Amino acid sequence: MLLEQEKQEIEEELKKFPLKSAACIEALKIVQKHRKWVPDESIEDLAEILDMTAAEVENVATFYNLVFRRPVGRHVILLCDSISCWIMKYEKIKESLHERLGIDFGETTKDDRFTLLPVQCLGNCDRAPSMMVDNDLYDTLTPEKLDEILSKYE
């Protein structure tokens, strides 16, 4: 069941679009803002509000890699795995994150602090390798920079 605040924010977003279904991504983002992820029951509620089927909303939710369909940690690390990042030693960054956090892609640390996810491209190829933590972009990464970056997210 959607929270009253979520419903109000979605109603405001609907005013910006000619069709309710066009607000689907924004509606998903609103739910995620409040819950950190989009549970199944929210998909069904959104479908009703947006005049879509639950399957249509689910298709949108699973297409966009920034909509989380499972619970995530307090902070989400998106590690770019594009060809540019691969060339610039992405593998060392991935291994360093794995060692420091004790998790692999799709996993969350035991203290629920971090979830580590791959992302196809962050659009920061000229400063590869790159990652995002929540909404903060970090580039020209080295294993040595990771401790400083991760310490910002207590």
Superfamily grouping for domain 4-63: NADH-quinone oxidoreductase subunit E (1.10.10.1590)
pLDDT of 87-125, one tens digit each?
Answer: 999 999 999 999 999 999 999 999 999 999 999 999 999
75-151 maps to CATH 3.10.20.440:
no
Domain positions in the chain: 4-63, 75-151
What are residue 17's DSSP bridge partners? none
Residue 132: left if φ>0, alpha if ψ -120 to 50, beta else—which one? beta
Query: Is pLDDT of 35 > 90?
Result: yes
Measured CA to CA, the distance from residue 83 to residue 59 in angstroms comes to: 27
Model confidence at 154, pLDDT cuts 50, 70, 90, reads confident
- CB within 8 Å of 75: residues ≥ 6 apart: 113, 114, 115, 133, 134, 153
The pLDDT value recorded for residue 12 is 97
Tell me which of 133 and 1 has the higher pLDDT: 133
| pTM confidence score | 0.84
